[in-house]
Structure 1
Amino acid sequence: CIQGTRVKVLDAITQWAFKDDLDSHICLLLGPAGAGKSAIAHSVAHIFDDLGRLGSSFCFVRGDSSRCLELYLPTLARDLADRDQHIKKALGHVLEATSLRKTDDLQDQFNHFITQTMQGCSVIGPILIVIDALDECGDGKPRKEFFKLLTNPETMKKLPSNFRIFITSRPDQDVQGL
């Protein structure tokens, strides 16, 4: 965002991320194309990066194979590992013990890359994960599986309690169900 713009929105997102007693660890910003959602996502990512609180920032791009859903969780795991040596070591152990490098199964990726990796790793303070343009993550079964992960309370309980997920998207019907 241009400096001095969208200050109230950025402040509200920052305050939400630093709350201890959250009803939901997901904050969803919906709007039509061109409304500035990506600018807000990038600004939030910069703010949290400057604070040392950014776990990962990922922008889906329809048709870009490097920005697809099947690569999201491995990218998230790598980003988390890049910010903390304990997480990096734990991820290394998970990768040595599994054959996940070639799986598209999102539940398996989540269980191993995120849940198993984060067990025993403690990071104090909020860690923000930014997902921009969720509506562009693709169609079909992978999209449904990913949305199921995001909406499953049992799955979300497996994340460290200090994780916050900020998502931007167009208001597609299935996205609004998050």
Structure 2
Amino acid sequence: MDGTRVDIINNIVSRLMDPPDPDQHVVILSGSAGSGKSTIAKSVASILAEQKNVLAASFFFAWDTAEHNHIKSLPTTLARQLADYDDCFRCLLVKLITKDRTGILDMDPHLQFQKLVVELLAQVPPIQTPWIICLDALDECRKDRGALCLWWLSDNMDKIPMNIRFFLTGRPNVPQYLKFDKLLSLVYEIVLDDLNAS
């Protein structure tokens, strides 16, 4: 509803647009089932897309939808949306697919993520404007409840340009995957269950 969750939405948007700590490239919103994570994610994504024009890509996992409850469709979806968002990325993607002889569209999703997303983002000329990638409800990824997606990010974050930032949501167990991970230092976490209910 209009006028609700205003502070938390504004906090997330400001941390993604101009983080107080420039080394933090990931904002994770966690909370128990039904606490409003996906509603907040949709509001944030809407602001980033319509008001700020910085939503480069998004993927909303959904437990009960076949094409959205598995990580295998994530890399190609992100690549397609990034191509729609930026002409330079589109040219790089078209060139890669046109010249590809490896069957990249049939590869393991982790390799697709590296080739279609990470390596192409690294070739885009440096810019200051943030590009935000929103991944909602990681815990609704049936295979591993989001752990694999965080591993992909951790494995590739040093190759991803500084202006690319991620907004992730999931249940409280999702951030726990980061406890001993190098990605942890790049994350700002907001726990919905710890916020004042009013």
The verdict on a shared fold, with TM-score over 0.5 as the criterion, is yes
1:23 maps to 2:23 = yes
1:136 Cα deviation from its structure 2 partner: 0.8
Aligned counterpart, 2:116? 113
Q: Provide the aligned length of Structure 1 versus Structure 2.
A: 172
Q: Which moved more, 1:93-102 or 1:160-169?
A: 93-102
Please list, as runs of the form range in 1=range in 2, the aligned pairs for 1:44-123 lying within 5 A after superposition.
44-50=44-50, 51-67=52-68, 68-96=70-98, 97=100, 98-106=102-110, 108-122=111-125, 123=127
1:135 maps to 2:135 = no
The letter for the 2-side match of 1:135 is: D
The verdict on how the C-alpha distance between 1:146 and 1:62 changes in structure 2, with shifts beyond 3 A counting, is same
1:126 maps to 2:125 = no
Aligned counterpart, 2:43? 43
Is 1:60–1:136's contact at 8 Å kept on the other side of the alignment? yes
1:105 Cα deviation from its structure 2 partner: 3.6
Aligned counterpart, 2:187? none
Aligned counterpart, 2:8? 9
Root-mean-square deviation (Å): 1.9
Cα distance in structure 2, aligned partners of 1:112 and 1:136: 25
Cα distance in structure 2, aligned partners of 1:127 and 1:116: 16
1:146 maps to 2:149 = yes
Which stretches of structure 1, 4 residues or more, deviate above 3 A after TM superposition?
142-145
Unaligned runs of 5+ in 2: 179-198
Q: Which moved more, 1:162-171 or 1:22-31?
A: 22-31
Cα distance in structure 2, aligned partners of 1:84 and 1:176: 34
Cα distance in structure 1, aligned partners of 2:118 and 2:143: 25
Q: TM-score, normalised by structure 1?
A: 0.88
Q: TM-score, normalised by structure 2?
A: 0.79
Is 2:32–2:171's contact at 8 Å kept on the other side of the alignment? yes
Is 1:135–1:170's contact at 8 Å kept on the other side of the alignment? yes
Is 1:53–1:126's contact at 8 Å kept on the other side of the alignment? yes
Tell me the percent identity. 34
